[in-house]
Structure 1
């Protein structure tokens, strides 16, 4: 060997390159080297694959000795999918170094994952601690989003960053919670495709896609799983020994008593208690149920019934199901997180005539019993403002209180003066008290600077540690609708208002979330008159309407969710039907966002009681309430005012 500076390092590197791939699999390495930190695990200590036996085959398919290149894992909650990916990260650093990329739905989540999971993974393992220098050391190569180690580097990024996804070639890809990825990354296409391009030049690449599914037809993890061999974990019955996948439909229990949940064997009808599950999991095996499009891709599906004893129980699953049966808004979460399946949502608008026919006789402009606080949504057009005032009550039930069409050029102050009067009004409650509008949301997509100028004159909402805060009555919020379905309230940013910012904030809202929720609510069945007389309640989310005219209901149901192929991938968007107007739908969406800002989505019992106390709802006698005939007598006069305000003229 030649004698010169660096000769020894070159010799060692050359010899290292000749070393064959390690014989340890990912699961064997994890059992030998991984320690779960108290910071990141409910069961700290040495990793035991035997605790989650179903992960062994998944992890071993990620080992270099396996011919598999792509591993797809569609799962429920409390299964351990993300931890399997973290085991792969530790294995790569220690046993099979190379460039690796771990992708979270957003950059912020990637940073959080780095601090809460990856740093403890490295710090608690002696084998890894030697290879990744501490972040505090000089030139360590260890930052929040980058971890250097001999022979490779780990890059952590978010699927919302096109720059991060194309930052470097990667032999290993860990794509976590892929159904939370945006549909199109900064105009460059699907984030999974962008990430996989980073590994295209590596013949022995490994790609691990993990996620709880979201919406059927749009779910990325479902798409990838259906293209795989669709493996299911079959476990033996402790009575007859026959193997079968665990399915929620085979659970049986006494109604209202989740703790009585038992599993009925599909072969011998024996009732199995959950404590048998440990033995069943230890003796389970994966069974392919389809032929994959590529022999290098395998797919696994697990629901949360497989969750180990002590994590998520069958009783927990039953309790969630019973709650979802009472509240349809919870059913999507049950299907996604417990069944591990995509939820098929019915986004077709209900027939407007059905809503028109079920109108009620409470007086327009007056808050019925059950309504506890008011919000308003305002849509801005060139020649008018349209505004709906809504009352909200327990379990997100709502009442439309009034609908205004304020005619006038929105570039002139007169029409905004009319809106001032709507905002300043106190609305009579059926108990005799009066309620103010708590939060009014105004769309700033049109006549933006005029909206900003008006909003600035009123109290504004803020974003605190617990979320949105509207401390004052008649709070006004400038909003912009975004075509994102990740959350109802998305971001809060400073308004671009020239030299007159002075703290003005614009709230971005996810209109697809509000529209999908509304259309589910509009389809809720009305209890029968007999049921109401016997004390039956309206279902959670039920929408009440007074005697509005036909045009209101046509506008409320004017949009459809359309799925189109964009750059080769399905993408859903809400589109207005030709020839229809949708101002009433927009106003309803903005009033719903206002309710969320006020706190509707996080209210607990104490909040509802606080709203009820001044209205004396709990102590009112029948003599104090307004009777139905009285309400009906006032409805015709008030309805005429709504019609004359602009609907029938157009």
Structure 2
């Protein structure tokens, strides 16, 4: 009897001092996690089986051989709750020092208030570990939660001071594609944060994000260096495992076609099948997972199809957002987006020199070794443009003759189809070639006509129009143009295929106006590429071919710069039935009247 009582006592003591059962992150979540009303439409006890693809992602944290985990996904697949479960696990079960990175400090504060605080409050095991925020002991602030054995610090990737603080074992980086390129002047925020884990042999680094632009997406770059795993489900007909693939979705029947047997099954049939992660590079140590909204239990395929149709109808920017947030894929601006054939087919017959809706004319001039090229562009409301005339004046720019031809052309009257005469209101002339002094001479004598010398400057972050400086023996005003920004605008406008949308570009079909095939080859002769320099993406414009003459693109850029420098009030002109030249004349008269030169009756 005594022996039995002793054994019961020993067993009870053993149960009290024994370590808790080994749990993975998903097992901990299934046992303890409670979803809050504020952050979930399905609040209550957590169930990983609701979205089974989450299990392997969370449990990768428990794999001693895995140090880095990447999740590239769409919205609405539960990626934020994956982060929250990892945090909850390391507060309650495996106490550790953690750093949660958001793109900005404001976003870090919002995440802490909306998600972390609610999770701690509603999950009993966490509420016991983290003090009530009303307690005045400093252990539970908005950006830091302290608990026995560790702490959770929340920071913005734009704050270099918060990234270079004390060491941490767990780093969770959320929406990394929205991180700034540099945290102040300190460099890449992810690299700064990773340095804080060096003292831990068992550190974990988890990066999560929807991707953005092909070639510049940080999460895509990380994913492509990983195991590159896809969530695959078995076909209801043949059993072949395959990922949810947008090209296999059939709109009319709202089904997905099997990549192998070609049978089509509806959403419920596919989602009821077993699934597993299949790695394209299982030999790599960095675990990488890709998910799209087709796999989500919270997204219906019919709604996804409807949203795709709406996004495509609204234009390129909306479609880009849909691809990022629904397919979880980066957006690639295809080389054929600006094929010149599309623009040639859009040409129309003006039946006049200048169409009726043109309010202002500007021009751009390019200087080559044997010629001057010029384009006149018409401007209307909502940045709608009309190509008016493209001319080439052959001759030596070192001689005055070819400049005289250009000057005569720039002073001509252009007749609108209602009989109104328009003149060019502003001109930009490129001075960056071999004839800088000649350009300065030409522009200095004509600055009163708004004929300005310009010089293009490539690179990111350079404003399109910069304050002019006085240069040369001529003391001429020189405007520096951020040509990358200008080309971005031009190409975005060229992609606009709807005449009633802002920025649409009209081109004439009349041969004498100069808009032939060679013009459109040159206008679309560049593309934007991404180069990685010192670990950072750099956007640059490059020719599609070394044989292409890209003067038409440069000239359109210069004409747009002239328009921005002139900066007319187009709404005022339209409301008062004025044009740029009449507007200038009236302004000049008002100025003279104030000086007493003109009588009030003039």
TM-score by shorter chain over 0.5: yes
In structure 2, distance between residues paired with 1:375 and 1:31: 67
Q: How far 1:172 moved relative to its partner?
A: 0.4
Which of 257, 271, 274 does residue 264 from structure 1 map onto?
257
Q: 2:233 maps to what in 1?
A: 235
Q: How far 1:101 moved relative to its partner?
A: 0.6
Give the TM-score normalised by the residue count of structure 2: 0.64
**Residues 1:314 and 2:281 are matched in the alignment:** no
In structure 2, distance between residues paired with 1:558 and 1:347: 10
- Asked if the contact 2:353–2:417 (Cα under 8 Å) also holds between the matched residues in 1, the reply is no
- Asked if the contact 1:27–1:59 (Cα under 8 Å) also holds between the matched residues in 2, the reply is yes
Change (3 A) 1:329 1:562: closer
Q: How far 1:126 moved relative to its partner?
A: 1.4
- Asked if the contact 1:179–1:214 (Cα under 8 Å) also holds between the matched residues in 2, the reply is yes
**Residues 1:519 and 2:491 are matched in the alignment:** yes
Q: 1:520-559 residue pairs with structure 2 within 5 A?
A: 520-523=492-495, 542-545=504-507
- Which runs of 5 or more structure 1 residues have no equivalent in the other structure? 1-17, 255-259, 380-385, 404-428, 433-480, 489-509, 527-536, 599-610, 616-633, 642-650
Instruction: Describe the superposition over 1:386-436 as per-residue Cα deviations: whole angstroms up to 9, x where unpaired.
Output: 99885456xxx8335999xxxxxxxxxxxxxxxxxxxxxxxxx9999xxxx
**Residues 1:328 and 2:316 are matched in the alignment:** yes
Q: 1:204 maps to what in 2?
A: 202
In structure 1, distance between residues paired with 2:360 and 2:293: 39
Taking only aligned residues, the RMSD between alpha carbons, in angstroms, comes to 4.9
Larger mean Cα displacement after TM superposition, 554-563 or 168-177: 554-563
- Asked if the contact 1:346–1:520 (Cα under 8 Å) also holds between the matched residues in 2, the reply is no
In structure 2, distance between residues paired with 1:377 and 1:165: 49
- Asked if the contact 1:102–1:156 (Cα under 8 Å) also holds between the matched residues in 2, the reply is yes
Change (3 A) 1:124 1:430: farther
Which of 295, 301, 315 does residue 290 from structure 2 map onto?
301
Q: How far 1:513 moved relative to its partner?
A: 7.8
- Which runs of 5 or more structure 2 residues have no equivalent in the other structure? 1-16, 365-374, 390-415, 420-457, 464-481, 586-602
Change (3 A) 1:351 1:317: closer
Q: 2:538 maps to what in 1?
A: 571
In structure 2, distance between residues paired with 1:570 and 1:120: 37
Change (3 A) 1:31 1:430: farther
Q: 1:343-362 residue pairs with structure 2 within 5 A?
A: 343-346=331-334, 358=347, 361=350
Q: How far 1:60 moved relative to its partner?
A: 0.5
Change (3 A) 1:237 1:517: farther
Q: 1:112 maps to what in 2?
A: 110
Instruction: Describe the superposition over 1:575-633 as per-residue Cα deviations: whole angstroms up to 9, x where unpaired.
Output: 899997958537759999xx9xx9xxxxxxxxxxxx9xx99xxxxxxxxxxxxxxxxxx
Q: 1:192 maps to what in 2?
A: 190
Q: How far 1:320 moved relative to its partner?
A: 2.9
In structure 1, distance between residues paired with 2:206 and 2:562: 40
In structure 2, distance between residues paired with 1:278 and 1:329: 31
3-state SS of 1:175 partner: strand
Q: 1:414 maps to what in 2?
A: none
Change (3 A) 1:350 1:307: closer
Q: How far 1:290 moved relative to its partner?
A: 1.5
Change (3 A) 1:363 1:148: farther
Q: How far 1:114 moved relative to its partner?
A: 1.3
Q: How many residues align?
A: 462
Change (3 A) 1:316 1:351: closer
Change (3 A) 1:244 1:552: closer
Q: How far 1:178 moved relative to its partner?
A: 1.1
- Asked if the contact 1:238–1:276 (Cα under 8 Å) also holds between the matched residues in 2, the reply is yes
Q: 2:220 maps to what in 1?
A: 222
Q: 1:23-422 residue pairs with structure 2 within 5 A?
A: 23-63=22-62, 66-254=64-252, 260-280=253-273, 283-293=274-284, 295=285, 297-308=286-297, 311-326=298-313, 327-346=315-334, 358=347, 361=350, 368=357, 390-391=379-380, 398-400=384-386
3-state SS of 1:61 partner: helix
Whichever of the two has the greater Rg, that structure is 2
Q: How far 1:567 moved relative to its partner?
A: 1.7
Larger mean Cα displacement after TM superposition, 69-78 or 126-135: 126-135
Give the TM-score normalised by the residue count of structure 1: 0.59
Q: 2:406 maps to what in 1?
A: none
In structure 2, distance between residues paired with 1:339 and 1:365: 45
- Asked if the contact 2:363–2:562 (Cα under 8 Å) also holds between the matched residues in 1, the reply is yes
Q: 1:436 maps to what in 2?
A: none
3-state SS of 1:59 partner: helix
Change (3 A) 1:68 1:211: same
- Asked if the contact 1:147–1:154 (Cα under 8 Å) also holds between the matched residues in 2, the reply is yes
Q: How far 1:556 moved relative to its partner?
A: 7.7
Q: 1:561 maps to what in 2?
A: 528
In structure 1, distance between residues paired with 2:561 and 2:521: 15
- Asked if the contact 1:389–1:591 (Cα under 8 Å) also holds between the matched residues in 2, the reply is no
Q: 1:466 maps to what in 2?
A: none
Change (3 A) 1:194 1:512: farther
- Asked if the contact 2:209–2:219 (Cα under 8 Å) also holds between the matched residues in 1, the reply is yes
In structure 2, distance between residues paired with 1:483 and 1:200: 33
Q: 1:415 maps to what in 2?
A: none
Change (3 A) 1:567 1:204: same
Instruction: Describe the superposition over 1:324-368 as per-residue Cα deviations: whole angstroms up to 9, x where unpaired.
Output: 443333332232222211111147995899969947628788763
- Asked if the contact 2:377–2:559 (Cα under 8 Å) also holds between the matched residues in 1, the reply is yes
Q: How far 1:190 moved relative to its partner?
A: 2.1
